[in-house]
Structure 1
Protein backbone atom coordinates (compact mmCIF):
# COMPACT_ATOMS: atom_id res chain seq x y z
CA UNK A 1 0.00 0.00 0.00
CA UNK A 2 1.35 3.42 -0.99
CA UNK A 3 2.37 5.69 1.91
CA UNK A 4 -0.21 8.35 1.04
CA UNK A 5 -2.94 5.69 1.23
CA UNK A 6 -1.67 4.56 4.64
CA UNK A 7 -1.78 8.14 5.95
CA UNK A 8 -5.23 8.61 4.41
CA UNK A 9 -6.38 5.40 6.09
CA UNK A 10 -5.39 6.68 9.53
CA UNK A 11 -6.93 10.08 8.77
CA UNK A 12 -10.20 8.48 7.69
CA UNK A 13 -10.35 6.35 10.83
CA UNK A 14 -9.64 9.36 13.07
CA UNK A 15 -12.22 11.55 11.34
CA UNK A 16 -14.93 8.92 11.50
CA UNK A 17 -14.01 8.20 15.12
CA UNK A 18 -14.45 11.89 15.89
CA UNK A 19 -17.96 11.83 14.42
CA UNK A 20 -18.81 8.81 16.57
CA UNK A 21 -17.53 10.58 19.66
CA UNK A 22 -19.47 13.75 18.78
CA UNK A 23 -22.61 11.64 18.48
CA UNK A 24 -21.88 10.24 21.95
CA UNK A 25 -21.52 13.79 23.26
CA UNK A 26 -24.92 14.72 21.84
CA UNK A 27 -26.38 11.74 23.70
CA UNK A 28 -24.47 12.70 26.89
CA UNK A 29 -22.87 9.26 27.23
CA UNK A 30 -19.93 8.25 29.43
CA UNK A 31 -16.29 7.91 28.35
CA UNK A 32 -16.49 4.17 27.67
CA UNK A 33 -19.47 4.74 25.38
CA UNK A 34 -17.51 7.51 23.65
CA UNK A 35 -14.67 5.08 22.91
CA UNK A 36 -17.04 2.33 21.80
CA UNK A 37 -19.03 4.52 19.43
CA UNK A 38 -15.89 6.17 18.09
CA UNK A 39 -14.27 2.80 17.41
CA UNK A 40 -17.39 1.38 15.79
CA UNK A 41 -17.61 4.37 13.48
CA UNK A 42 -13.90 4.56 12.79
CA UNK A 43 -13.36 0.94 11.75
CA UNK A 44 -16.88 -0.09 10.73
CA UNK A 45 -16.65 0.57 7.01
CA UNK A 46 -13.19 -0.94 6.68
CA UNK A 47 -14.26 -4.02 8.62
CA UNK A 48 -17.17 -4.70 6.26
CA UNK A 49 -14.87 -4.16 3.29
CA UNK A 50 -12.23 -6.61 4.51
CA UNK A 51 -14.78 -9.27 5.42
CA UNK A 52 -16.31 -9.08 1.95
CA UNK A 53 -12.90 -9.15 0.26
CA UNK A 54 -11.92 -12.16 2.38
CA UNK A 55 -8.73 -10.58 3.73
CA UNK A 56 -7.58 -10.14 7.35
CA UNK A 57 -9.46 -7.30 9.02
CA UNK A 58 -7.14 -4.31 9.01
CA UNK A 59 -7.46 -3.30 12.67
CA UNK A 60 -6.88 -6.87 13.85
CA UNK A 61 -3.57 -6.92 11.98
CA UNK A 62 -2.59 -3.39 13.00
CA UNK A 63 -4.11 -2.49 16.36
CA UNK A 64 -2.85 1.08 16.15
CA UNK A 65 -6.15 1.89 14.44
CA UNK A 66 -8.05 1.02 17.62
CA UNK A 67 -5.67 3.23 19.61
CA UNK A 68 -6.33 6.10 17.19
CA UNK A 69 -10.06 5.70 17.78
CA UNK A 70 -9.64 5.64 21.56
CA UNK A 71 -7.38 8.69 21.65
CA UNK A 72 -9.74 10.59 19.37
CA UNK A 73 -12.72 9.68 21.58
CA UNK A 74 -10.94 10.85 24.73
CA UNK A 75 -9.95 14.13 23.07
CA UNK A 76 -13.54 14.78 21.97
CA UNK A 77 -14.85 13.83 25.43
CA UNK A 78 -12.89 16.71 26.97
CA UNK A 79 -13.34 19.26 24.17
CA UNK A 80 -16.80 18.73 22.64
CA UNK A 81 -18.34 21.35 24.92
CA UNK A 82 -16.20 24.01 23.23
CA UNK A 83 -18.00 23.55 19.91
CA UNK A 84 -20.86 25.88 19.15
CA UNK A 85 -22.77 23.32 17.07
CA UNK A 86 -21.64 19.74 17.49
CA UNK A 87 -24.10 18.43 14.92
CA UNK A 88 -22.87 20.90 12.31
CA UNK A 89 -19.25 19.89 12.94
CA UNK A 90 -20.26 16.22 12.90
CA UNK A 91 -21.82 16.53 9.44
CA UNK A 92 -18.79 18.24 7.94
CA UNK A 93 -16.29 15.88 9.55
CA UNK A 94 -18.35 13.01 8.22
CA UNK A 95 -18.19 14.54 4.73
CA UNK A 96 -14.39 14.72 4.86
CA UNK A 97 -14.13 11.19 6.31
CA UNK A 98 -16.46 9.81 3.63
CA UNK A 99 -14.34 11.36 0.88
CA UNK A 100 -11.04 10.11 2.28
CA UNK A 101 -12.25 6.63 3.14
CA UNK A 102 -13.97 6.11 -0.22
CA UNK A 103 -10.55 6.41 -1.86
CA UNK A 104 -8.87 4.13 0.68
CA UNK A 105 -11.54 1.49 0.18
CA UNK A 106 -11.36 1.72 -3.60
CA UNK A 107 -7.58 1.37 -3.54
CA UNK A 108 -7.75 -1.76 -1.39
CA UNK A 109 -10.50 -3.30 -3.48
CA UNK A 110 -8.47 -2.70 -6.61
CA UNK A 111 -5.30 -4.10 -5.03
CA UNK A 112 -7.04 -7.30 -3.85
CA UNK A 113 -9.25 -8.06 -6.85
CA UNK A 114 -7.99 -5.97 -9.75
CA UNK A 115 -11.61 -5.25 -10.65
CA UNK A 116 -12.66 -1.60 -11.12
CA UNK A 117 -16.28 -2.47 -10.32
CA UNK A 118 -15.38 -4.21 -7.05
CA UNK A 119 -13.02 -1.33 -6.21
CA UNK A 120 -15.81 1.21 -6.59
CA UNK A 121 -18.16 -0.91 -4.45
CA UNK A 122 -15.58 -1.35 -1.69
CA UNK A 123 -14.94 2.38 -1.82
CA UNK A 124 -18.62 3.07 -1.24
CA UNK A 125 -18.80 0.51 1.59
CA UNK A 126 -15.71 1.86 3.32
CA UNK A 127 -16.85 5.45 3.03
CA UNK A 128 -20.41 5.00 4.26
CA UNK A 129 -20.92 1.95 6.49
CA UNK A 130 -19.22 3.43 9.56
CA UNK A 131 -21.48 6.48 9.52
CA UNK A 132 -24.57 4.36 8.88
CA UNK A 133 -23.73 2.07 11.83
CA UNK A 134 -23.10 5.12 14.05
CA UNK A 135 -26.47 6.66 13.27
CA UNK A 136 -28.40 3.42 13.68
CA UNK A 137 -26.80 2.57 17.03
CA UNK A 138 -27.24 6.10 18.37
CA UNK A 139 -30.83 6.40 17.19
CA UNK A 140 -29.97 9.35 14.95
CA UNK A 141 -31.62 9.96 11.56
CA UNK A 142 -29.54 7.92 9.11
CA UNK A 143 -27.82 9.79 6.30
CA UNK A 144 -29.11 7.11 3.91
CA UNK A 145 -32.73 8.00 4.60
CA UNK A 146 -32.16 11.74 4.24
CA UNK A 147 -32.77 13.29 0.83
CA UNK A 148 -29.36 14.98 0.59
CA UNK A 149 -26.79 13.12 -1.50
CA UNK A 150 -24.63 10.79 0.61
CA UNK A 151 -23.83 7.39 -0.89
CA UNK A 152 -23.58 8.93 -4.37
CA UNK A 153 -20.75 11.17 -3.18
CA UNK A 154 -18.69 8.14 -2.17
CA UNK A 155 -19.57 6.45 -5.46
CA UNK A 156 -18.40 9.41 -7.54
CA UNK A 157 -15.19 9.79 -5.53
CA UNK A 158 -14.31 6.10 -5.77
CA UNK A 159 -15.16 5.95 -9.48
CA UNK A 160 -13.08 9.06 -10.19
CA UNK A 161 -10.10 7.59 -8.35
CA UNK A 162 -10.36 4.24 -10.15
CA UNK A 163 -10.73 5.90 -13.56
CA UNK A 164 -7.76 8.20 -13.01
CA UNK A 165 -5.61 5.34 -11.72
CA UNK A 166 -6.43 3.39 -14.89
CA UNK A 167 -5.13 6.29 -16.99
CA UNK A 168 -1.81 6.12 -15.18
CA UNK A 169 -2.10 9.49 -13.46
CA UNK A 170 0.78 9.81 -11.02
CA UNK A 171 -0.06 9.16 -7.36
CA UNK A 172 -1.14 10.80 -5.18
CA UNK A 173 -2.93 13.12 -7.63
CA UNK A 174 -5.46 10.43 -8.56
CA UNK A 175 -6.37 10.04 -4.89
CA UNK A 176 -6.52 13.79 -4.25
CA UNK A 177 -8.80 14.42 -7.21
CA UNK A 178 -11.05 11.49 -6.27
CA UNK A 179 -11.24 12.72 -2.69
CA UNK A 180 -12.05 16.27 -3.78
CA UNK A 181 -14.77 14.99 -6.12
CA UNK A 182 -16.47 13.06 -3.31
CA UNK A 183 -16.17 15.94 -0.87
CA UNK A 184 -17.47 18.50 -3.38
CA UNK A 185 -20.61 16.46 -3.99
CA UNK A 186 -21.27 15.86 -0.30
CA UNK A 187 -20.44 19.47 0.59
CA UNK A 188 -22.90 20.68 -2.04
CA UNK A 189 -25.54 18.41 -0.55
CA UNK A 190 -24.94 19.85 2.92
CA UNK A 191 -24.66 23.48 1.86
CA UNK A 192 -27.28 23.63 -0.89
CA UNK A 193 -29.47 20.59 -0.26
CA UNK A 194 -28.47 18.78 -3.46
CA UNK A 195 -30.58 15.69 -4.06
CA UNK A 196 -31.19 13.10 -6.72
CA UNK A 197 -34.66 12.55 -8.19
CA UNK A 198 -36.61 10.42 -5.75
CA UNK A 199 -39.26 7.82 -6.36
CA UNK A 200 -42.75 9.28 -6.62
CA UNK A 201 -45.60 7.05 -5.55
CA UNK A 202 -48.30 6.46 -8.14
CA UNK A 203 -51.80 5.02 -7.79
CA UNK A 204 -51.87 1.27 -8.23
CA UNK A 205 -53.47 -0.31 -11.23
CA UNK A 206 -57.20 -0.90 -10.77
CA UNK A 207 -58.21 -4.47 -10.08
CA UNK A 208 -59.95 -5.96 -13.08
CA UNK A 209 -63.44 -6.84 -11.93
CA UNK A 210 -64.10 -9.07 -14.92
Structure 2
Protein backbone atom coordinates (compact mmCIF):
# COMPACT_ATOMS: atom_id res chain seq x y z
CA UNK A 1 0.00 0.00 0.00
CA UNK A 2 2.84 2.37 0.79
CA UNK A 3 4.19 2.06 -2.75
CA UNK A 4 0.76 2.88 -4.20
CA UNK A 5 0.46 5.96 -1.99
CA UNK A 6 3.84 7.20 -3.22
CA UNK A 7 2.86 6.62 -6.86
CA UNK A 8 -0.42 8.47 -6.34
CA UNK A 9 1.42 11.36 -4.72
CA UNK A 10 3.73 11.65 -7.71
CA UNK A 11 0.86 11.47 -10.21
CA UNK A 12 -1.13 14.08 -8.29
CA UNK A 13 1.91 16.32 -8.01
CA UNK A 14 2.51 16.16 -11.76
CA UNK A 15 -1.16 16.76 -12.53
CA UNK A 16 -1.43 19.86 -10.34
CA UNK A 17 2.00 21.16 -11.38
CA UNK A 18 0.91 20.86 -15.00
CA UNK A 19 -2.27 22.85 -14.39
CA UNK A 20 -0.39 25.51 -12.42
CA UNK A 21 2.27 25.90 -15.11
CA UNK A 22 -0.41 25.94 -17.82
CA UNK A 23 -2.30 28.78 -16.14
CA UNK A 24 0.95 30.70 -15.74
CA UNK A 25 1.86 30.13 -19.39
CA UNK A 26 -1.48 31.45 -20.60
CA UNK A 27 -0.82 34.57 -18.54
CA UNK A 28 2.60 34.83 -20.24
CA UNK A 29 4.71 34.32 -17.13
CA UNK A 30 8.41 33.66 -17.55
CA UNK A 31 9.86 30.27 -16.63
CA UNK A 32 10.44 31.12 -12.98
CA UNK A 33 6.89 32.44 -12.68
CA UNK A 34 5.56 29.23 -14.22
CA UNK A 35 7.69 27.14 -11.86
CA UNK A 36 6.53 29.10 -8.83
CA UNK A 37 2.85 28.79 -9.71
CA UNK A 38 3.30 25.09 -10.47
CA UNK A 39 4.95 24.66 -7.06
CA UNK A 40 2.15 26.44 -5.20
CA UNK A 41 -0.51 24.43 -7.00
CA UNK A 42 1.20 21.08 -6.48
CA UNK A 43 2.29 21.33 -2.84
CA UNK A 44 0.17 24.10 -1.31
CA UNK A 45 -2.59 21.88 0.00
CA UNK A 46 -0.30 19.12 1.21
CA UNK A 47 1.94 21.63 2.99
CA UNK A 48 -0.91 23.13 5.03
CA UNK A 49 -2.29 19.63 5.71
CA UNK A 50 1.02 18.41 7.14
CA UNK A 51 1.40 21.56 9.24
CA UNK A 52 -2.09 21.11 10.69
CA UNK A 53 -1.43 17.43 11.39
CA UNK A 54 1.91 18.37 12.98
CA UNK A 55 4.00 16.06 10.80
CA UNK A 56 7.04 16.85 8.61
CA UNK A 57 5.99 18.55 5.36
CA UNK A 58 6.16 15.84 2.71
CA UNK A 59 8.31 17.64 0.13
CA UNK A 60 10.97 18.51 2.72
CA UNK A 61 11.56 14.80 3.36
CA UNK A 62 11.91 13.71 -0.26
CA UNK A 63 12.88 16.02 -3.11
CA UNK A 64 11.27 13.81 -5.78
CA UNK A 65 8.13 15.97 -5.80
CA UNK A 66 10.23 19.05 -6.51
CA UNK A 67 11.82 17.40 -9.55
CA UNK A 68 8.41 16.30 -10.77
CA UNK A 69 7.24 19.92 -10.57
CA UNK A 70 10.32 21.01 -12.51
CA UNK A 71 9.71 18.40 -15.22
CA UNK A 72 6.03 19.30 -15.51
CA UNK A 73 6.93 22.97 -15.86
CA UNK A 74 9.56 22.28 -18.52
CA UNK A 75 7.11 20.16 -20.51
CA UNK A 76 4.53 22.92 -20.25
CA UNK A 77 7.05 25.54 -21.33
CA UNK A 78 7.86 23.71 -24.54
CA UNK A 79 4.18 23.10 -25.27
CA UNK A 80 3.08 26.72 -25.01
CA UNK A 81 2.10 26.88 -28.67
CA UNK A 82 -0.73 24.38 -28.17
CA UNK A 83 -2.21 25.69 -24.92
CA UNK A 84 -5.30 27.07 -26.63
CA UNK A 85 -6.14 23.53 -27.74
CA UNK A 86 -5.57 21.93 -24.34
CA UNK A 87 -8.49 23.16 -22.23
CA UNK A 88 -10.02 19.70 -21.92
CA UNK A 89 -6.62 18.19 -21.06
CA UNK A 90 -5.98 20.80 -18.39
CA UNK A 91 -9.43 20.15 -16.91
CA UNK A 92 -8.78 16.40 -16.84
CA UNK A 93 -5.40 16.81 -15.14
CA UNK A 94 -6.92 19.21 -12.62
CA UNK A 95 -9.71 16.74 -11.85
CA UNK A 96 -7.28 13.83 -11.46
CA UNK A 97 -5.08 15.92 -9.16
CA UNK A 98 -8.12 16.98 -7.14
CA UNK A 99 -9.26 13.40 -6.63
CA UNK A 100 -5.82 12.02 -5.82
CA UNK A 101 -4.97 14.72 -3.31
CA UNK A 102 -8.38 14.45 -1.62
CA UNK A 103 -7.71 10.73 -1.20
CA UNK A 104 -4.17 11.27 0.05
CA UNK A 105 -5.26 13.95 2.52
CA UNK A 106 -7.99 11.77 3.98
CA UNK A 107 -5.73 8.69 4.04
CA UNK A 108 -2.92 10.50 5.84
CA UNK A 109 -5.29 11.80 8.49
CA UNK A 110 -6.78 8.33 9.03
CA UNK A 111 -3.28 6.85 9.32
CA UNK A 112 -2.65 9.27 12.19
CA UNK A 113 -5.83 8.04 13.94
CA UNK A 114 -7.74 11.30 13.61
CA UNK A 115 -11.52 11.30 13.64
CA UNK A 116 -13.53 11.00 10.43
CA UNK A 117 -14.45 14.68 10.37
CA UNK A 118 -10.80 15.71 10.49
CA UNK A 119 -9.95 13.23 7.74
CA UNK A 120 -12.63 14.73 5.49
CA UNK A 121 -11.36 18.26 6.16
CA UNK A 122 -7.78 17.21 5.45
CA UNK A 123 -8.95 15.69 2.16
CA UNK A 124 -10.64 18.94 1.19
CA UNK A 125 -7.66 21.08 2.17
CA UNK A 126 -5.21 18.86 0.30
CA UNK A 127 -7.41 18.82 -2.78
CA UNK A 128 -8.44 22.45 -3.14
CA UNK A 129 -5.91 24.71 -1.42
CA UNK A 130 -3.32 24.44 -4.19
CA UNK A 131 -5.92 25.55 -6.72
CA UNK A 132 -6.91 28.47 -4.50
CA UNK A 133 -3.30 29.61 -4.24
CA UNK A 134 -2.92 29.24 -8.01
CA UNK A 135 -5.90 31.50 -8.63
CA UNK A 136 -4.96 34.07 -5.99
CA UNK A 137 -1.40 34.47 -7.25
CA UNK A 138 -2.71 34.66 -10.83
CA UNK A 139 -5.14 37.42 -9.82
CA UNK A 140 -8.23 35.29 -10.49
CA UNK A 141 -11.30 34.47 -8.43
CA UNK A 142 -10.63 31.04 -6.85
CA UNK A 143 -12.77 28.35 -8.40
CA UNK A 144 -14.37 27.34 -5.08
CA UNK A 145 -15.91 30.81 -4.84
CA UNK A 146 -17.59 30.36 -8.21
CA UNK A 147 -20.61 28.23 -8.92
CA UNK A 148 -18.65 25.06 -9.84
CA UNK A 149 -18.72 22.42 -7.11
CA UNK A 150 -14.94 22.14 -6.77
CA UNK A 151 -14.67 21.88 -3.00
CA UNK A 152 -17.81 19.73 -2.92
CA UNK A 153 -16.10 17.28 -5.28
CA UNK A 154 -13.10 17.06 -2.94
CA UNK A 155 -15.41 16.57 0.05
CA UNK A 156 -17.41 13.80 -1.64
CA UNK A 157 -14.21 12.07 -2.78
CA UNK A 158 -12.91 12.15 0.80
CA UNK A 159 -16.20 10.76 2.12
CA UNK A 160 -16.27 8.04 -0.55
CA UNK A 161 -12.69 6.97 0.18
CA UNK A 162 -13.25 6.91 3.94
CA UNK A 163 -16.53 5.03 3.58
CA UNK A 164 -15.02 2.39 1.33
CA UNK A 165 -12.06 2.10 3.70
CA UNK A 166 -14.37 1.32 6.61
CA UNK A 167 -16.13 -1.24 4.45
CA UNK A 168 -12.69 -2.81 3.98
CA UNK A 169 -12.86 -2.57 0.21
CA UNK A 170 -9.44 -3.51 -1.26
CA UNK A 171 -7.23 -0.43 -1.46
CA UNK A 172 -6.74 -0.54 -5.22
CA UNK A 173 -10.48 -0.83 -5.86
CA UNK A 174 -11.19 1.93 -3.34
CA UNK A 175 -8.85 4.37 -5.06
CA UNK A 176 -9.99 3.43 -8.56
CA UNK A 177 -13.66 3.77 -7.65
CA UNK A 178 -13.13 7.07 -5.87
CA UNK A 179 -11.18 8.57 -8.79
CA UNK A 180 -13.79 7.43 -11.32
CA UNK A 181 -16.49 8.97 -9.15
CA UNK A 182 -14.47 12.22 -8.93
CA UNK A 183 -14.13 12.50 -12.71
CA UNK A 184 -17.78 11.63 -13.40
CA UNK A 185 -19.13 13.97 -10.72
CA UNK A 186 -17.03 16.98 -11.71
CA UNK A 187 -17.64 16.60 -15.43
CA UNK A 188 -21.37 16.08 -14.80
CA UNK A 189 -21.52 19.18 -12.61
CA UNK A 190 -19.95 21.24 -15.39
CA UNK A 191 -22.02 19.66 -18.16
CA UNK A 192 -25.35 20.03 -16.36
CA UNK A 193 -24.51 23.23 -14.47
CA UNK A 194 -24.88 21.60 -11.05
CA UNK A 195 -23.99 23.86 -8.14
CA UNK A 196 -24.86 24.51 -4.53
CA UNK A 197 -27.44 27.18 -3.60
CA UNK A 198 -26.07 30.72 -3.42
CA UNK A 199 -27.04 33.48 -1.04
CA UNK A 200 -29.31 36.08 -2.59
Which residues in structure 2 correspond to 1:159-174 (within 5 Å)? 159-174=159-174
Q: Is the 8 A contact 1:157 1:179 kept in 2?
A: yes
Q: Is the 8 A contact 2:22 2:83 kept in 1?
A: no
Number of aligned pairs? 200
Alpha-carbon distance between aligned partners in 2 of 1:8 and 1:52, rounded to the nearest angstrom: 21
Give unmatched runs, 5+ long, in structure 2: none
Q: Is the 8 A contact 1:23 1:90 kept in 2?
A: no
2:6 corresponds to which residue? 6
Would the alpha carbon gap of residues 138 and 86 (structure 1) be closer, same or farther in structure 2, given more than 3 Å must change?
A: farther
1:66 corresponds to which residue? 66
> For residues 101-125 of structure 1, what are the alpha-carbon distances to aligned partners after superposition, in whole Å with 9 as ceiling and x for unaligned?
1111111111113422211111111
Shift of 1:85: 3.4
Is 2:150 aligned against 1:150? yes
Q: Is the 8 A contact 2:105 2:125 kept in 1?
A: yes
Q: Is the 8 A contact 1:42 1:130 kept in 2?
A: yes
Alpha-carbon distance between aligned partners in 1 of 2:109 and 2:81, rounded to the nearest angstrom: 38
Is 2:135 aligned against 1:141? no
1:126 corresponds to which residue? 126
Would the alpha carbon gap of residues 114 and 141 (structure 1) be closer, same or farther in structure 2, given more than 3 Å must change?
A: closer
Is 2:131 aligned against 1:100? no
Shift of 1:193: 1.8
Alpha-carbon distance between aligned partners in 2 of 1:155 and 1:19, rounded to the nearest angstrom: 21
Is 2:197 aligned against 1:194? no
Over aligned residues, Cα RMSD in angstroms? Answer: 1.4
TM value normalised by structure 2 = 0.94
